[in-house]
Amino acid sequence: MGWNNPKRPGHHCGTSTGQLPGGEVRPGNFDHHPPNQWPGPRDQMYLPFLFMRANPGDRGARPVAGPFWESPDILLLAGVEPAFAPEIPPDLGQTALAGMPNTLYAHVWNFGRAQAPNVIVQFFWCDPSLGIGPGSANLIGETVVALGARDSGRSHRLVKCPNVWVPTFVNGGHECLVVRVWDETSDGLGTPPWDAALNRHVAQRNIHVIATGGAQARIAAGPGAVAAAALVDAPLMLRVGPLYDAPATVAVERVVPAGMPWLQLRTGVRGQFPAGAPATGDVLLTPPRDIAGAGLGIGAASSQEVTADHQQVGLTTTDAPPAPGSAHVYRVTASQQGQVFGGYTVVVLG
For 46-79, b/e burial (b = at least 16 CB within 10 A) is ebbbbbbbbbeebebebbbeebbbbbbbbbbbbe
pLDDT tens sequence across 263-289: 999 889 999 999 999 999 999 999 999
Task: Write down the mean pLDDT value for the chain.
Answer: 85
Give domain 41-205's CATH superfamily.
Immunoglobulins (2.60.40.10)
Tell me, what's the pLDDT at 131?
83
pLDDT tens, position by position, 309-342: 989 999 998 898 899 999 999 999 999 999 999 9
21-32 pLDDT, tens digit per residue, is: 555 556 555 555
Q: How confident is the model at residue 145 (pLDDT cuts 50, 70, 90)?
A: very high
CA-based nearest residue to 177, from 87, 78, 246:
78
Per-position DSSP letters for 74-116, written without gaps between them: EEEEET--GGGS-SS-S-TT----TTS-EEEEEEEEE-SSS-E
Mean pLDDT of 126-147: 90
Average pLDDT over residues 12-29: 59
Nearest C-alpha neighbor of 240 from the set 206, 208, 209: 206
User: Where in the chain is CATH 2.60.40.10?
Assistant: 41-205
The reported pLDDT for the residue numbered 14 is: 65
Say what percent of the chain tops pLDDT 90: 58
pLDDT in tens, 108-118: 999 999 999 99
Q: According to the model, what pLDDT value does residue 222 have? A: 27
Confidence band for 143, pLDDT divided at 50, 70 and 90: very high
Give the pLDDT confidence score for residue 42 in this predicted structure: 72
For 153-204, give the DSSP string: T-SEEEEE-SS-B---SGGGG--EEEEEEEETTTB---SSTT-TTT-TTEEE
Query: What contacts 13, CB < 8 A, 6 or more positions away?
Result: 1, 36, 42, 190
Look at strands 102-110 and 74-78 and give their pairing.
antiparallel
Higher pLDDT, 154 or 295: 154
Is residue 82 over pLDDT 80? Answer: yes
Task: Give me the mean pLDDT over the 82-108 stretch.
Answer: 94
Asked whether residue 16 carries a pLDDT value surpassing 80, the answer given is: no
For residue 4, pLDDT over 80 is answered with yes
Say yes or no to pLDDT of 101 above 90: yes
pLDDT tens digit string along 217-252? 333 332 222 223 445 456 888 999 899 999 999 999
Phi/psi of residue 259, each to 5°? -85, 5
Is residue 112 within 8 A of residue 150, CB to CB? The reply is: yes
DSSP annotation string for 36-83: TB-SS-GGGSSS--EE--SSTT--S-SSPSS-SSB-TTEEEEET--GG
What amino acid is encoded at 45 in this protein? M
In this prediction, residues 94-99 reach a mean pLDDT of 88
* C-alpha span between 270 and 111 (Å, rounded): 23
The pLDDT score that the predictor gives to residue 217 is 36
